[in-house]
Structure 1
Amino acid sequence: MPNAPEPFAGRIGRTLAESTPSFVEPPHPGQDAPNVVVVLLDDTGFAQFGCYGSDIDTPNIDQLAAGGLQFTNFHVTPLCSPTRASLLTGRSQHAVGMRSVSNFTTGFPHQLGHISPQASTLAEVLGAAGYATFCTGKWHLAPMEQCSAAGPFDHWPLGKGFDRFYGFLEGETDQFYPELVSDNHPIDPPAKPEDGYHVSEDLIDQTLRMISDSKGVRPDRPFFAYVPFGATHAPHQAPEEYLAKYRGAFDEGWDVVRQRWFEKQIALGVISEQTQLAPRNPGVEPWDELPEVQQRLAARLQEAFAAFLDHTDDQIGRLVQGLDDLGHLDNTLLILLADNGASQEGGPFGVMHEMKFFNGILETPEEAIKDIETIGGPQSHTNYPWGWAQCGNSPFKWYKQNTHEGGVHVPMIVHWPQGVNESEQGTKRHQFVNVADIAPTIYEFLGIAPPETFNGVEQLPVTGHSFAPLLNAADHPAVNTLQYFEMAGSRALVAENWKAVCRHLPDADYDTEPWELYDLAVDASECNDLADAHPEKLEELKALWWDEAQRHGVLPLDDRGLTLFGPRFRDLSPHPTSRRYVYRPPMLPIPAQASAAIGGRSFDLTAQVDRQAGQEGVLWATGTENSGISFFLLDSQLVMEYNAFGQRTVVRGPGPVPEGNSTLVAQLRRTGARTGTMQLSIDGSPGALAELPLYMGVISSVGSSIGYDHGSAVSTQYQSPFAFAGTLQQIEIELLSRQSIEAARAQAQAEMSRQ
């Protein structure tokens, strides 16, 4: 809904001679208005930049800190989408409808799966003030089932105030084979990894191009560039030269490295001398007690992370140098931050295939080590183990998803040569600051008042606190002294220097589970629980938490996890109540959560084709070379390859596919908690039945394609896209009614007996 036009200020008479024109000038924020750049890293812990303690090379980030301000007490939410929603609106994540990731909605106002229209974004407000607005990178602020080419596009970046977008809409992507979107339409990557492609480099190319396009024509118009990298979220992938650089760099193990980083943090002044290094989290074993194979695997996984961060730092350097080359660096307010702490999603050993984590599969080092040489490259989809994640969160305990400091205490750097006095450049700020404080700070610097109504919708109040006074006054009191946290039932509240925190476990009683109490002024790493010593203070903070929960729309508390990621079958959605999907090419790739919901389900897949001799190719595929399913014709044979994290099962039809029209069917049946079968037929004639030792519940974060295989090839028998050369009339996928595992197993046994 557009804003109402300004009333005509001229005079309209009978003729031009009797009339006075009035020209409506576009908004402009002023001649000296600064550009604004917000760079967001993903799953990057407090200690992982060099200037925050690590020995990973991040010279460009370190230089930004040396020429700007380094914040040591900056806090976010423990998860990506909520942090992004709060960052872009200046409001709490619950209030704007994003208590968790945007992959699902719960039917309550605090989890809409998108930002509420009552919360205008930085892009919308700055755009209305005359700024050019660009977003390049990870979005993850739209309902995932709305992220296909079918839309709707209301919650895509261009629907939330950005003039241009280049990046990906999902929560993660393959860095070598990303699922890219340009503005409002999916596109293929401009190159392949063998040509030197990596999406982080592409994002900076596009950012600088957008800035040049705007400034070249309108040098007077300032810009807002939001650059949310996919890095350093899994999969940890980097060019080979970066991987080679870190070979052997972490062979000492996480205990030695974490101690060294901790000591460096004290020496740098990032933490105070009285800070303790938190003990190992439960499940993190002493490095010296690990079997050699586990040490080798864990060290190599950390090498891939370090290479990924190092490579990202170089792209940030390219961005800064590009701004300088264009003459815009001095008057650009650049804010660099992370969205949450280092991730625990690699489990105790790390994972070669991150989707195994979401299938509840614990991959042992002995299983993973056989593919160690692929780690970090295009054939990998890795995440590191808990020990390295806690090292990245030094000196804190716990991780992303937790409301302890390891999940919510992250780095932030502010760089603005014209806005930060030279005497303050290179100094640190130790005051508490929260991610919701960033937007109101930007508004204050630009002299913009957030609107009370936007596009005809009454706006929620901006509840963040501007920390603008801190930039040139190191001893200014903290502007935010009361901040709540919540994630899947885990809760925390910071009031002045006190922190009450509860690590909630699924199905635990909210009223009786234990809380902890810390004095952050002397115990930033939450090592000394004062709950028993100060029970009155703990009760006071718990009561304050419930007050803040009411104020910010946090309730009801909801600790459901992976169960929320399943599709909601309903009309007017990609998942019809009939459980029957019909696709007719040509079609662009379909994102995972808008694709047919086959994960863990029995289904029939039917392809209607018309082919001539020699015509072959992919009919339907979902996933990637790491995990997925592909249904294709090769050498006149009908083939299905079921790729369960590299465990490949191949089944073929009963004979050659005839020329002309044919009906080609794949029947997949789940027969156990993690087992299944698949069988192909041609025009009603069945082939052999194959056993599937692992039937995937969550197949991939990458979706499906009709008539070709986009991205990395699911099967090793062809190179993508391997488009079908004949005529594919349609693909139909029909999900079968859920049945008991026992019944499904009996059905499979009956089928086997007929072979």
Structure 2
Amino acid sequence: MPTPTIAVAFAIISLVFSVNHAHAEQHPNIILILADDMGYSDLGCYGSEIATPNLDRLAHGGVRFTQFYNSSKCEPTRASLMSGQYWQDTGFGVKRGQTMGEAMKQRDYATFAVGKWHLDGNPVDRGFDRYFGHLAGGSHYFRVAASQRLNHDVFRQPPGDDFYMTDANADYAIEFIDELRQEDENKPFMMYLAFNAPHSPLHALPEDIAKYRDTYRAGWDIIRQQRHKKQIDIGITKEQWKLPPRDPSVPAWETLSQREKDFESTRMAIYAAMVDRMDQAIGRVLDRVKEHGEEDNTLVIFLSDNGGSASDPSIAPKTVEGLLGENGAGKNGYWVGVGWSNVSNTPFQRYKCEMGNGGILTSCVASWPSVITTGGRLIDEPAHIVDLMATITDVAGTPISETASEKLPGLSLRPLLTGSPRASHDALYFHLFHNRAIIADGMKLVSNWDSPWALYDMNADRTEQNDLASLRPELAVSLQKRWESWYADVPEKRWNPSTGEPRYRRMDDPEESYNRRTGNGDEIIVVKWSEASQPRKKQIAPK
């Protein structure tokens, strides 16, 4: 029988363990993972043939959102995600309000940012303890970008030929977690893990490309139909939501020459390899969390910043040899092209930058084993990236709505994760370039590139096939007025050359303003499909 002194010691140890255990349960780790330019259907658990076993496992043990909205483009989505505000309110780059890193440091979390930043400043000056990644909007995968940083320091490419950006992001994510656990076994962490993949350029590892070299020879028509059927089978979409016809600018696969088929099937194989490698990288990070014994009490949320892109600006020759380069891994600035982006966004129309559901709906997976007890659920409640700040501060113990000087538009996802009801958004608002939309009460009013407003029923017609504007004109006018009232309150709508505020904050830009170059000399060109051997007609669009 233990002596009284030993008994007291055991009691103290038990009490400390209980307190620490309760603290850990109350304050989970949070890993927010963002893909770049990945379409709605590119994960296996959303209908794809691409191998994504790690994200599929999260989905089967957690939940999948079928109606999760973003801001249709890299920087706007990141601004909204990072601030919990509409990007029009926080300012381009997050100029107003606190960042997610700052909010979580106030809640005594360790904060890490890894990967693509594409916002103002450096994450370590915006509330994050550690940072590895590139500050700019894009990066080569086999070479370190000029904006690559490790904390404040310029990051130099390590010696050797084995550097690959996606893997490096996972390596540093793991390193940051390990370093924290060496210093403090109990401190919760929030990690923002923003992959560049599968954003252009098409660069993948040869062993990953090899898995898909024959997969896409069937062509985009068959692959798109196969994805749609799988989506219906697993409940991601409904049979009543008809699959739209192939993009009218894209030819039927069978009309392509063999040379064209070889080129197109190869570039989709590289794209698939990039998604595959991202999933592998995510798996390595999650395995390390599990090794630390923290899998059950870690909330993981995965989504993409926008839908697949119709941009295809590369001037490199459209040949398989040009795609693969000497090392078989790609060397030129190719994009995946509109034909395959039409597949990526299955079952929807439109693309990155546009307000069709192909541009603004993202796959979104959430896993939290100690809290989500019924895995594999589908959540159809409309949600938005502005909800993420509300969610992570809610699970950290102090919801942002209770501390912010002015109420943010986001609503915590936590009730939905546990199967409880949540108050719905009164409305969700969208604006980018000459594209705009509002979603309210299951209806969506949308205009792309200044086209007449169209009205769709998101419950009966989520693939936006039946325009109801002429049948329900009063509703269309009412929603238009709500959008205009919201837009009228957006600060600094007009472009200011002295501050560099982007022109696409305006609705009245002249069309020629689109023909511009970004600060790093990139020119984004929307290219409708044309034969590989023919000069391409270029339509300049804003980046």
Normalising by structure 1, report the TM-score: 0.62
Percent identical residues:
31
- 1:44 match: 38
Structure 2 distance, partners of 1:127, 1:451, is 16
Q: Give the C-alpha shift of residue 552 in structure 1.
A: 4.2
Q: 2 CA distance for matches of 1:253 and 1:43?
A: 21
Contact 1:441/1:465 (8 A) holds in 2: yes
Q: Does the Cα contact within 8 Å between 1:482 and 1:496 map onto a contact in 2?
A: yes
- CA apart distance, 1:61: 0.7
For residues 253 and 473 of structure 2, the distance between their equivalents in structure 1, rounded to whole angstroms, comes to: 37
Verify: 1:335 aligned to 2:301, yes or no. Answer: yes
1:71 corresponding residue in structure 2: 65
In the alignment, the residues of structure 1 paired with residue 419 and residue 491 of structure 2 have an alpha-carbon distance, to the nearest angstrom, of 34
Alignment pair present for 1:416 and 2:368: yes
Greater RCO, CA 8 A, separation 6+: 2
Q: Which residue of 1 aligns with 2:337?
A: 385
Instruction: Report the counterpart of residue 452 of structure 2 in structure 1.
Output: 514
Aligned mates of 2:438, 2:302 — CA distance in 1: 25
Aligned to 2:185: 219
Structure 1 CA distance for aligned equivalents of residues 201 and 172 of structure 2: 22
Separation in 2, partners of 1:394, 1:71 = 15
The alignment status of 1:187 with 2:139, answered yes or no, reads: no
In structure 2, runs of 5+ residues without a counterpart are 1-21, 495-505, 524-539
Q: Which amino acid aligns with 1:185?
A: D
Post-superposition offset of 1:176: 0.7
Instruction: Map Cα deviations across residues 232-284 of structure 1 (whole Å, 9 max, x no partner).
Output: 10012111101111112101111111001000000010012211111222311
Q: Which residue is 2:225 aligned to? A: 259
CA separation in 2, counterparts of 1:554 and 1:525?
Answer: 33
What is the alpha-carbon distance in structure 2 between the residues aligned to residue 176 and residue 242 of structure 1? 15
Partners of 2:187 and 2:337 in 1: CA distance: 46
Q: Does 1:289 align with 2:280?
A: no
How much does 1:550 deviate? 2.6
Mapping of residues 235-250 of structure 1, within 5 Å: 235-250=201-216
Aligned partners of 1:284 and 1:540: how far apart in 2? 36
More deviation, 52-61/280-289: 280-289
Distance in 2 separating the partners of 1:257 and 1:412: 22
1:483 corresponding residue in structure 2: 428
Q: Is the 8 A contact 2:112 2:131 kept in 1?
A: yes
SS at 2:75's partner residue? helix
1:242–1:232 Cα change, 3 Å: same
2:69 is aligned with 1:119? no
Confirm or deny that 1:441 pairs with 2:406: no
CA contact (8 A) 2:266 2:320 kept: no
**In structure 2, distance between residues paired with 1:444 and 1:489:** 35
Deviation at 1:290, TM superposition (A): 2.1
Corresponding residue to 2:240 among 268, 274, 283: 274
Shift of 1:477: 5.3
3-state SS of 1:256 partner: helix
Match of 2:119 among 138, 141, 149: 141
Deviates more, 1:525-534 or 1:377-386: 377-386
Query: Does the CA contact (< 8 Å) of 1:176 and 1:378 recur in 2?
Result: no
Q: Deviations over 1:437-477 (max 9, x none)?
A: 111012122221438888xxxx5531111222111226x35
Is the CA contact (8 Å cut-off) linking 1:89 and 1:462 kept in structure 2? no
Residues paired across the two proteins, number: 486
Alignment partner of 1:371 is 2:322? yes
Letter in 1 for 2:154: P
From the superposition, tell whether residues 277 and 481 of structure 1 become closer, same or farther in structure 2 (CA, over 3 Å). Answer: farther
Q: Is the 8 A contact 1:43 1:340 kept in 2?
A: yes
Name the TM-score, length of structure 2 as normaliser.
0.85
1:468 to 414, 428, 437: 414
Q: Secondary structure at the match of 1:526?
A: coil
- CA deviation string 1:610-662 (max 9, x = no partner): xxxxxxxxxxxxxxxxxxxxxxxxxxxxxxxxxxxxxxxxxxxxxxxxxxxxx
Paired position in structure 2 for 1:157? 123
Write the letter of the residue equivalent to 1:377.
A
After superposition, the Cα gap between the structure-2 partners of 1:46 and 1:478, relative to the gap in structure 1 and judged at 3 Å, is farther
Matched residue, 1:734: none
1:93 is aligned to 87
8 Å Cα contact 1:433/1:478 also seen in 2: no
More helix by share: 2
2: CA distance, partners of 1:378 / 1:197: 14
**SS, match of residue 115 in structure 2:** strand
State the distance in 2 between where 1:63 and 1:93 align.
Answer: 32
The amino acid of 2:369's aligned partner reads P
Seen in structure 2, the aligned counterparts of structure 1 residues 203 and 230 have a Cα distance that, compared at 3 Å, is same
CA contact (8 A) 2:389 2:400 kept: no
How far, CA to CA, are the matches of 1:319 and 1:232 in structure 2?
18
CA contact (8 A) 2:67 2:380 kept: yes
1:425 lines up with 2:363 in the alignment: no
Task: Kindly indicate whether the alpha-carbon contact (under 8 Å) linking 1:86 and 1:92 is maintained by their aligned counterparts in 2.
Answer: yes
Check the 8 A contact 1:467/1:479 in 2, yes or no: no
Quote the residue 1:596 is aligned against: none
Alignment partner for residue 450 of structure 1, among 395, 400, 403?
400
- Residue 107 of structure 2 contacts residue 396 of structure 2 at CA under 8 Å; is this kept in 1? no
Secondary structure of 1:224's counterpart equals: strand
Identify the residue that residue 657 of structure 1 maps to in structure 2.
Answer: none
Which residue of 2 is the match for residue 721 of structure 1?
none
Q: 1:411 aligns to what SS in structure 2?
A: strand
- 8 Å Cα contact 1:516-1:529 kept in structure 2: yes
Contact 2:132–2:169 (Cα < 8 Å) also in 1: yes
Residue 30 of structure 1 and its aligned partner are, at CA, apart by 4.4
CA distances 1:24-61 after superposition (whole Å, capped 9, x unpaired): xxxxx945311111011000110000000010111111
- Distance in 2, Cα, partners of 1:514 & 1:542: 11
CA pair 279-129 structure 1, distance change in 2 beyond 3 A: same
Q: 2:108 aligns with which of 112, 119, 130?
A: 130
Residue 221 (structure 1) shift: 1.0
Offset at residue 397 of structure 1 (A): 0.4
**Contact in 2 for aligned 1:175/1:199 (Cα 8 Å):** yes
Q: What's the secondary structure of 1:545's corresponding residue?
A: helix
SS of corresponding position for 2:391: helix
Query: What are the Cα deviations for residues 204-246 of structure 1, in whole angstroms up to 9, with x where unaligned?
Result: 1111111111122111211111100010100121111011111
2:170 aligns to what? 204
Matches within 5 A, 1:652-731: none
Letter in 1 for 2:50: I
Among candidates 472, 481, 488, match of residue 543 of structure 1: 481
Which residue identity lines up with residue 150 of structure 2 in the other structure? Answer: S
Correspondence 1:5-44 to 2 at 5 A: 30-32=23-25, 33-44=27-38
Distance in 2 separating the partners of 1:162 and 1:449: 19
Q: Distance in 2 between matches of 1:30 and 1:538?
A: 50
Q: Could you say what the CA RMSD is over the residues aligned between the two structures, in angstroms?
A: 2.3
Q: Which has the larger radius of gyration?
A: 1
Does the CA-based 8 Å contact 1:434-1:480 persist in structure 2? no
Counterparts of 2:412 and 2:31, CA distance in 1? 17
Shifted more, 548-557 versus 217-226: the winner is 548-557
Contact residue 350 and residue 359 of structure 2 kept, 8 A:
yes
- C-alpha contact 1:437 1:464 (8 A) present in aligned 2: yes
Cα distance in 1 for residues equivalent to 2:222 and 2:458: 25
Contact map agreement 1:91 1:461 (CA 8 A) in 2: no
Question: Aligned in 2, Cα 1:373/1:209: closer, same or farther, shift over 3 Å?
Answer: closer
Question: C-alpha separation between the residues in 1 aligned to 2:459 and 2:339?
Answer: 26
Q: Is residue 80 from structure 1 mapped to residue 71 from structure 2 by the alignment?
A: no
**SS of residue paired to 1:251:** helix
Q: Aligned partners of 1:554 and 1:542: how far apart in 2?
A: 21
What secondary structure does 2:214 align onto?
Answer: coil
**Deviations, residues 55-83 of structure 1 (Å, cap 9, x unaligned):** 01111110010111111111101101111
Sort the Cα spacing of 1:291 and 1:364 in 2 relative to 1 into closer, same or farther, 3 A: farther
